[in-house]
Amino acid sequence: MLQGWVIVLASFVYLGILFAIAWYADRRADSGRSLIANPVVYALSLGVYCTTWTFYGSVGRAAASGIGFLPIYLGPTLLFALAGFVLHKMIKVAKANRITSIADFVASRYGKSQLLGGLVTVIAVVGVIPYIALQLKAVSNSFAILASYPEIIMPAKAGAVPLFQDSALYVAMILAAFTILFGTRHLDATERHEGMVAAIAVESTVKLIAFLAVGVFVVWGMHQGVGDIFAQAAAVPTVARRLATADSPAAYGTWGTLIFLSLFASLLLPRQFQIAVVENVDAKHLSRAVWMFPLYLFLINLFVLPVALAGMMHFPNGTVDADTFVLTLPMAHQQEALTLLVYIGGLSAATGMVIVETIALSTMVCNDLVMPLLLRLPMLGLAARADLSGLLLEIRRWAIAVILCLGYLYFRVAGEAYALVSIGLISFAAVAQFAPVVIGGLFWKGGTRDGALFGLAAGFAVWAYTLLLPSFAKSGWLPDGFIAHGLFGIDLLRPQHLFGLTGLDEITHCLVWSLLANLGGYIGVSLQRVPNVREARQATLFVGGAEAAGLPGWHGSAGVADLLPLAGRFLGAERAQDAFTRHAQQRGLQSLHELPADTRLVNFAETLLAGAIGSASARAMVASVVTEEPLGINEVMNILDEASQVRAYTRELEQKSLELTRATAELREANARLRELDRMKDDFISTVTHELRTPLTSIRAFSEMLHDDPKIDLAQRSRFLGIIVSETVRLSRLINQILDLAKLESGRAEWTVAAVDVAEVIREAAESLTALFAEKHVTLELDASHPGLMVLADRDRLMQVMVNLLSNALKFVPAESGRVKVGAGGTVNEVRVSVADNGPGIQSEDQEVIFDKFRQGAGTTDVLTDKPQGTGLGLPISRQIIEYFNGRLWVESAPGAGARFVFTLPRQAGDNDQNAD
Amino acid sequence: MSHRILIVDDEPNIVISLEYLMKKEGFQVVVATNGDAALEQASAFLPELILLDVMMPKKSGFEVCQALRANPALTGVKIIMLTAKGRETEVTKGLALGADAYITKPFSTKDLVLQIKSMLA
């Protein structure tokens, strides 16, 4: 009954039914009553992961290595059971950014780089082609085996059959036609294909039922249950070995590799990404899928081991390929209906994979490879064309055809060298190269376009060299010498023992080196520079933006994770942080991280931003985080420029204002100082005026009196004239001293600096006053016996000081009993001179006042009958002189105990030279 | 009858000249060389007119003037302030404190005598 035409007819009927389902689902979707918007369909459609590799290959793998077939299903199980949040985040991000494929995802994440999208596409196409070849091989083999029913004959080697007698070629052509019908009937407004998903869900059901049917037949039809099979197998030594261990201990070591590979493959294979992420209707469906999909994997693997054991026992001499046990066991028992069901199940597994994979790949090839190239060719004038949808469909159809052709080509070239499973693993290793940039892109903001390009290219190159090229070489299409001896005969470059790494199977070996190069390149190059604006924005959308970005409309909500960096870009991170923390406190929350992602938070952030960049820009910026519509990079750049200019300007103004405040304070201080100086000047002038007018008053009064009264007697006249003369002398001295002091104070005094013997100056000064002392009968004692008291000073000025001190003393000591004593001495560093008298002394409050201009000791007038004759300028001048030579002048006194004026000067030393003119 | 004049100044030569001028006019003259002495003499001597220097040690002429005006025993005493400073503010201040006239040093002896005479008339 199972003639060739029956099989062909059954195939076409099955494909026709699928097509009808897809058509119906599309109709339902158009009318808004989606057939696939339910979690069970989503979970079943994920079953596209199970291809002919699973359907036929698992049994083959189990026959070769016992439970070694399992890790391929443990990986996805782990992913869905434990890392559902990664998938959830991917779905949210992809929806928010209207991601159409894995290439689009990576390109968009790293700043919408077309180059990156192209590279991912190339890797995906090259990497997945062996996998497509695997499906062609499986379908054509199953067809060939079935065609010779009831005899069981293994099909001839692919390469040995002439091209046009090769059923795989026709399978490829039919699949291409079917896929084109399926995937490119119309260009969807969205990137989703509801009809296809519905058909895939049905296919998953069909292949599961078919496999379970075989399992049930083998376990309970051929044997008396599972226990019976295992018991019988244990009795056959060659079979029992499979139950105990794998081929070698090292094979178990590869479990980790396989789990790792399959984990990422179930996420990153173009078809997996298409079904799990792009075609996902509602992220909530994931919560059902996280247990339903692992359950599906469990069920489809339930009978793998029993079937494998039964096959090995049934075909003991090894003439039947273990990959075909699923089909050949029912055949051997003439179960025609079951055999046909198995064939249809296998066809389901193959078509499901090929349809989704090639649609996904053709979308990538079209969107990320061909269109960018075409749009860059100006002679085509495409950029100006309004409607490109027809062209897009054409490109996708051709891409589907070309991809399937390449798959067939690989099958002809390399297909026979490997078992089904090994071919699949080559593809898994290729798509594993996406893991760093995708996972890193979701959780690390530092990744850059250059890093992603570098990592992907490096990983892909290593994969091609260590895995793809050897697969060609083993098939004889390349000289296999380079496998054994390395490229150019360099031992270290042996593709399967790169850099001398041995002891690993070829997949693990490839994975170690390719991911090392990939991760190293991605992280290393990314760290070379900080992400630019475009990359940083996308990074925020992908890493922190998942929660917010999925919400509809810009008046939706966004989380702190989005809004805080956004605000931080304009306000500075610290200020933004503070503002958010305050907002959180106002809402009674402990920290800003507790802020719920709601409208209130968005409005708050918008208001916050509006303060810095204006309300229109703030709205646009917040919208760029909350809505799905991405903000054009030029707009972002403009806004950033504007804002930073405004901020710089504001900072400048603040700076200026600060400087002004400082300058104002300085000016106010200077003004106050000027006022003080002005007041001091006024006081000085007023005092000088007073001091000048006082003698003038006497002079005028006595002159007028003499002039008006010629009859004044001679004695009186002589006395008056004497007064006039002495007042004139006083006036002259006063004027001289005022000028002298003005010179000293203004620094215009002229100094003749030389080494001066202090003792000599004292002696000379005393000599010049000898007459005056004698006149008043005052005793002058000189203790100037110390020779060599040398100082650097102006001799005349020093003399002026000595005379002033001595005449002051003379002025205040009583006549007859007065005593003035001059002392001189010194230390290593200074010379000290004192002039002590036995006069009335100076009250302590006056001891500093007397050095002020025009101030004389107040107490002195009470004691003396006459007001002391003096200008009140002698001591201020003396102090100026002494201080000019770095000395000090002061007085020690107590009322009634005399006064002792002391001055010190530095002993002659080099450092006085600098004061000399 | 001879008028009683109190001269208050700390400059000996000025005191000599004023004393000479007043005595020549036939006035009774008492001299004080500082503020405190001036107040004492004023209470004891009860002068009709006081020539009061402003710039003196311890108590300035302004303070003395204020104290004199506060003394009920001295109501009607004429006060002429003498100053070597002569700034507008000081003149105003002196007059405000109750001085009857304000004369700037150096002064004309004739004018001073005429002023005193007119004030005592």
Check which CATH number belongs to the domain holding A896 and give it.
3.30.565.10
**Which letter, b or e, does each residue of A284-315 get, where b requires 16 or more Cβ atoms within 10 Å of its Cβ?**
ebbeebbebbbebbeebbbbbbbbbbbbbbeb
For residues A692 and A573, state if they share a domain: no
Q: How many residues does chain B have?
A: 121
Q: Is the CB of B57 less than 8 angstroms away from the CB of A700? A: no
Q: B23-32, long-range: CB within 8 Å, 24+ apart, which pairs?
A: B24/A709, B25/B113, B25/B116, B25/B117, B26/B2, B27/B2, B27/B3, B28/B2, B28/B3, B28/B4, B29/B5, B30/B4, B30/B5, B30/B6, B31/B6, B31/B7, B32/B6, B32/B7, B32/B8
CATH classification code of B4-120: 3.40.50.2300
- Residue A434 inside a domain? The answer is no
- For residue A760, CA distances in Å to A259, A321, A786, A792, A906 come to 110, 132, 10, 14, 17
Q: Is the CB of A723 less than 8 angstroms away from the CB of B108? A: no
- Residue A104 inside a domain? The answer is yes
Query: A808 touching B, CB under 8 A?
Result: no
- Residue A869 inside a domain? The answer is yes
Min Cα–Cα distance to chain B from A795, Å: 35
**Model pLDDT, residue A477:** 65
**Model pLDDT, residue A903:** 93
Min Cα–Cα distance to chain A from B107, Å: 7
**Model pLDDT, residue A902:** 92
Q: Is the CB of A700 less than 8 angstroms away from the CB of B18? A: no
Q: Choose one of A700, A731, A762: the last residue of a domain.
A: A731
* Spans of chain A, pLDDT less than 70: 1-2, 96-98, 150, 155-165, 185-192, 241-253, 372, 375-390, 392, 414-422, 475-504, 533-534, 537, 545-557, 569-572, 606-621, 623-645, 784-787, 855-871, 909-917
Q: Is the CB of A723 less than 8 angstroms away from the CB of B106? A: no
Element of type H or E holding A542: none
First to last CA, chain B: 12
What is the tally of structural domains in chain A? 4
**Model pLDDT, residue A830:** 87
- Residue A841 inside a domain? The answer is yes
**Model pLDDT, residue A317:** 72
Q: Choose one of A698, A731, A764: the last residue of a domain.
A: A731
Q: Which of B12, B34, B109 sits opposite A701 (nearest CB)?
A: B109
For residues A180 and A317, state if they share a domain: yes
Name the interface residues of B facing A (CB cutoff 8 Å).
Answer: 10-14, 16-18, 20-21, 24, 33-34, 55, 57-58, 84-87, 105-110
CA distance A275 to A366: 19
| Pairs of residues, one from chain A and one from chain B, whose beta carbons lie less than 8 Å apart | 70
Q: Say what angle helices A420-431 and A449-463 make with each other, to 10 degrees.
A: 160
A250-293 pLDDT, tens digit each: 566 678 888 888 888 888 888 889 888 888 888 888 888 888 89
For residues A597 and A676, state if they share a domain: no
- Those residues with Cβ within 8 angstroms of residue A367's Cβ, 6 or more apart along the chain or in another chain: A100, A101, A103, A104, A117
Residues 851-880 of A with CB under 8 A from B: 858, 861-862, 866-867
- Residue A364 inside a domain? The answer is yes
Whole-complex ipTM: 0.93
**Model pLDDT, residue A368:** 77
- Residue A27 inside a domain? The answer is yes
- CA-nearest residue of chain A to B56? A858
- Those residues with Cβ within 8 angstroms of residue A440's Cβ, 6 or more apart along the chain or in another chain: A447, A522, A523
For residues A173 and A133, state if they share a domain: yes
Q: Choose one of A575, A607, A622: the last residue of a domain.
A: A622
**Domain interval for residue A612:** 555-622
Helix, strand, coil distribution of chain B in percent, nearest 5: 45, 20, 30
A23-56 pLDDT, tens digit each: 888 888 777 777 788 888 888 998 888 888 888 8
- Residue A879 inside a domain? The answer is yes
Select from B9, B10, B11, B13 the residue whose CB has the most chain A CBs within 10 Å, as the one to mutate to test that interface.
B13
* Verdict on whether the full-model pTM lies above 0.90: no
Report the CATH number that the domain containing residue A698 is assigned in CATH: 1.10.287.130
By the 8 A CB rule, do A296 and A208 touch? yes
Q: What residues does each domain of chain B span?
A: 4-120
Q: Which of A689, A701, A727 sits opposite B84 (nearest CB)?
A: A689
Measured between beta carbons, the chain A residues lying within 8 angstroms of B40 are: none
- CA-nearest residue of chain A to B107? A697
**Model pLDDT, residue A917:** 37
Q: Which of A693, A723, A866 sits opposite B84 (nearest CB)?
A: A693
Residue whose C-alpha is closest to residue A499's, from A459, A458, A462, A460: A462
Q: Is the CB of B106 less than 8 angstroms away from the CB of A705? A: no
Residues 687-706 of A with CB under 8 A from B: 689-691, 693-702, 704-705
Query: A707 touching B, CB under 8 A?
Result: no
- Residue A744 inside a domain? The answer is no
For residues A757 and A722, state if they share a domain: no
**Model pLDDT, residue A133:** 84
